Amino acid sequence: MIVLGIESSCDETGIAIYDTEKGLLSHALYSQIALHAEYGGVVPELASRDHIRRIVPLVEQAFEKAGLKPDAIDAIAYTQGPGLAGALLVGSSMAASLGMALGKPLIGVHHLEGHLLSPLLAKNPPVFPFVALLVSGGHTQLMRVDEVGRYELLGETLDDAAGEAFDKSAKLLGLAYPGGPEISRLAERGRPDVFHLPRPMLHSGDLNFSFSGLKTAVLTTLKKEVHPEDDQVRADIARAFVDAIVDVLAAKCAQALRQTKLRQLVVAGGVGANRQLRAALDNMAARRRYRVFYPELEFCTDNGAMIAFAGAMRLLRNPDAAHMGYGFTVKPRWPLEELTAA
């Protein structure tokens, strides 16, 4: 079965073609990061307009790279939610019009399910069941994943998402948007233990997180400094921030593995690209003989491959999951817990 995947929930237009026998045939991506950088965050209206500009050439590119004619696909998977309504509408209307023109069925995919399953695209994938840490710009969740569609929420953030904490703290340090990768790079030049930031909810006993206090701690630390603009001071604060957030994430992952008695951890979402987080998780896992799985770096942040893949997995389980109705609905808010296995 060959599935075309379309992702347009936020600021990346991603198109991919996945073959359940041969694997990923092609993927094409356009990131709007530069477009939104001067505003310090994603501007929804600009995002929608840019998806419209990029989506057709990207679809053409994906077919060309795969060496396939559009008619060769069996189904079209598109991100139905959650995300920005206007941005989601671009991908879903592309899916509906292609589906109608080609006479192919559609399947709406949950964006976070795409992230959750993305490590299965790797060469040595994990096997069910596993614990998943989902850390993106909008979400921070620990889930127990038993199979496609069977997800149990173990814990989540009570306020800011991990990516949001990275981005907001980076902004306070004068770094460009999106700040996650920037603050991570700056932290590499920082010295450990020059500043100490709190580890929110580290000992809360549950698997929930709270990150909004961290950016306040970054702000307070900057305000106390005589030379907050000094490059080494900024690097030391970045280091303290990264150490704090990574400590909490790694500790809660260890706790989730202990609690579920599972031995595999899957890390998904944009923050999963973070080098310090990967090092801490690898370290934690090595000590306890757990295994950690990461998506390929290019599939950590939003992309079409994970949507094509999640759609294909659902269709393998239940061919009736796709429909020929081309009236589409998007779900800007769509709790992952609403998904069922069938």
C-alpha span between 26 and 331 (Å, rounded): 27
Shortest reach from residue 167's CB to ligand KG4, in Å: 5
Q: Report the relative pairing of strands 264-268 and 291-293 from DSSP bridges.
A: parallel
One character per residue 129-158, x = contact with ligand KG4 (rule: CB under 6 A) = -------xxx--------------------
Between 26 and 141, name the residue whose CB sits nearer to ligand KG4: 141
Among 79, 184, 255, 264, binds ligand KG4 (CB under 6 A): 184
Contact call for residue 303 and Zn ion (CB under 5 A): no
CA 241 vs CA 162, 196, 218, 226, 275: distances in Å: 12, 8, 7, 19, 14
Nearest alpha-carbon partner for 87 in 79, 98, 75, 76: 79
Contact call for residue 136 and Zn ion (CB under 5 A): yes
Among 91, 99, 181, 295, binds ligand KG4 (CB under 6 A): 181
By a kind-dependent CB cut-off of 5 to 8 A, residue 5 interacts, out of Zn ion, ligand KG4, none, with none
Nearest alpha-carbon partner for 240 in 227, 212, 213, 221: 221
| Six token digits for residue 317 | 């389980």
In this chain, which stretch among 116-124, 134-142, 174-182, 225-233 interacts with Zn ion, using CB under 5 A?
Answer: 134-142
Among 63, 151, 166, 294, binds ligand KG4 (CB under 6 A): 166
Contact call for residue 274 and ligand KG4 (CB under 6 A): yes
Between 161 and 322, name the residue whose CB sits nearer to ligand KG4: 161
- Which residue is it, tokens 């080609």? 102
Contact call for residue 164 and Zn ion (CB under 5 A): no
Nearest alpha-carbon partner for 114 in 16, 42, 208, 33: 16
By a kind-dependent CB cut-off of 5 to 8 A, residue 149 interacts, out of Zn ion, ligand KG4, none, with none
Contact call for residue 82 and ligand KG4 (CB under 6 A): no
Between 160 and 302, name the residue whose CB sits nearer to Zn ion: 302
Contact call for residue 167 and ligand KG4 (CB under 6 A): yes
Contact call for residue 302 and Zn ion (CB under 5 A): yes
Contact call for residue 30 and ligand KG4 (CB under 6 A): no
DSSP string computed for 7-60: E-SSSEEEEEEEETTTEEEEEEEEE-HHHHHTTTS--HHHHHHHHHHHHHHHHH
Which ranges constitute the DSSP H helices of 207-317? 212-224, 231-260, 275-288, 305-317
Among 10, 187, 218, 238, binds ligand KG4 (CB under 6 A): 10
Contact call for residue 118 and ligand KG4 (CB under 6 A): no
- Which of left, alpha, beta for 103 (phi over 0: left; psi -120 to 50: alpha)? left
C-alpha span between 272 and 21 (Å, rounded): 27
Cα-trace Rg, the chain: 20
Residues at the interface with ligand KG4 (CB under 6 A): 10, 136-138, 163, 166-167, 178-181, 184, 269-271, 273-274, 301-302
